[in-house]
Amino acid sequence: MSVRSPLARTRRNAELALGLLAAAITVTGYLLVALSETDELPADLGGLCVGILGVFAIAHLAVRRFAPRADATLLPLAVLLNGIGFFTITRLDGDRREGVSALAPVQAIWTLVAVGAFVAVLVLIQRTAMLQRYRYSFLLLGIIALLAPLAPGIGKEVNGARLWVEIGPLNFQPGEAAKVLLVVFFAAYLVEKRELLALGSRRVGRMFLPDPKHLGPLLLAWGLSIIVMVMQKDLGSSLLFFALFAAMLYMATERAAYLLGALVLFVGGATIAYQLFAHVQTRVSTWLDPWADAHDDGFQLVQSLFAFGTGGFAGTGLGLGSPEKIPAAATDFVFAAIGEELGLLGTVAVMTAFLLLVGSGFRIAVQAQRPFSKLFAGGLTTILGVQTFVIIGGVTRLIPLTGVTLPFISYGGSSLVANFIIVALLLRISDETAAEAESARPTGRAVPATAGQRAGS
């Protein structure tokens, strides 16, 4: 499919202009980081420009060819956030000053892999309806991926959380794939059962409640989130999964009672886990008073708060702060590193980009005409929104600290690939919706008059 309609041309041209702006911001950030260390232009600046433009060109041309009517803002926003992450990770690369860079090249390779996955999704998934037919297969794959880190021999515990799978030289987090796979199943299931769940079949007093068997997926989500919290010691992923499924249930039924029920289930499970497991108690006590153990469990959070305070309104400047003093600054605490060197202005800019990204995703969901596409887009966007809230809330001490990554920005390949796949799926839904709207629109061509109409004129 090529860009032929006026809508397609307008959107792709806007995407190109916005993408070039995002690439320019990335190059400028990298240049400022390099100039903070030396007064000479970096030798790899030309290669970096070519690489960034090349990666964006591949993604842009894929959208232009396979989803020409898709939303124009999603890809540039993803490129912008990924670019901010790249020059921040370059800044945090511990061995950079010794001439050996460890993190940035790996992140660049993962960006190429993520864009490759982005293109593959656009090429292979021509209609999102095809995903709906294999919902139970996606459920099985999602559960396997979610629980894979618990398998002996391949499961690996890092920083106290058992989220990783190690197969030979390859390390990855299968939970990142699980969240996309499970969204496919829940969207398909809720579309099929939404009337039964919304109206209910059993009367209790003045309320109509659904049959308990139809609530199986919600209970399954609750059980999986508790398993992740307890067995994998990961509060962030547990909160993300359950909030995702509760939000999708509300979007499908428009019944606020489900949100209340989901909240009761999660609070109940979390309370029991707090009473039984020491690592949950540690996370909560560190959140309530990180200064009580500022040299041990509370060290990361205390250093993060110092970083935000040091950054102030405009920040210390790229390369001029000390964010490397924060443990795991390139992964869990990358937002604190941005806060120190770019200040309140930088953090607000990043949060604005996320708000625009999430807003674009929900706009795609609202505009979709097919129930599955609508709910699927809403679920995918919820992943990005909730994950962003969970990690930023933890780093700023709004909620207990978790181990999820900041989408597109944090160092790590599994998350980056999964998030670019989410963007590709949202673009596919957007393109389908626009194509259906164009086909339903009158062409404006004159219809030949009938003999009776000519006689009466």
pLDDT of residue 212: 62
The residue assigned the tokens 């059993």 is 202
Which uninterrupted H or E stretch holds 170?
A: strand 170-172
Q: How is 223-278 classified by DSSP, letter by letter?
A: HHHHHHHHHS--HHHHHHHHHHHHHHHHHHH--HHHHHHHHHHHHHHHHHHHHH-H
pLDDT band at 68 (very low <50, low <70, confident <90, very high): very high
Residues 6+ apart with CB under 8 A from 187: 132, 248, 372, 375, 376, 379
Q: Which amino acid is at 390?
A: V
Q: What is the mean pLDDT of residues 136-158?
A: 80
Of 8-12, 36-40, 84-88, 161-165, which gets the smallest average pLDDT?
161-165
Q: What is the mean pLDDT of residues 433-439?
A: 86
Q: What is the mean pLDDT of residues 326-332?
A: 85
Backbone angles phi, psi at 321, to 5 degrees: -100, -165
Is the pTM higher than 0.85? yes
**pLDDT at residue 315 above 50?**
yes
339-362 residue pLDDT tens? 999 999 999 999 999 999 999 999
Number of residues assigned to the chain: 457
Rounded distance between C-alpha atoms, residue 70 and residue 430, angstroms: 5
Rounded distance between C-alpha atoms, residue 250 and residue 258, angstroms: 6
Q: How many CB atoms lie within 10 A of CB 80?
A: 23
Rounded distance between C-alpha atoms, residue 337 and residue 448, angstroms: 68
Which uninterrupted H or E stretch holds 208?
A: strand 207-209
pLDDT of residue 209: 60
Rounded distance between C-alpha atoms, residue 421 and residue 415, angstroms: 10
State both tokens at 441.
């629109």
Answer left, alpha or beta for residue 203, where phi above 0 means left and psi between -120 and 50 means alpha.
beta
Q: How many CB atoms lie within 10 A of CB 160?
A: 12
What integer best gives the mean pLDDT of the chain? Answer: 83
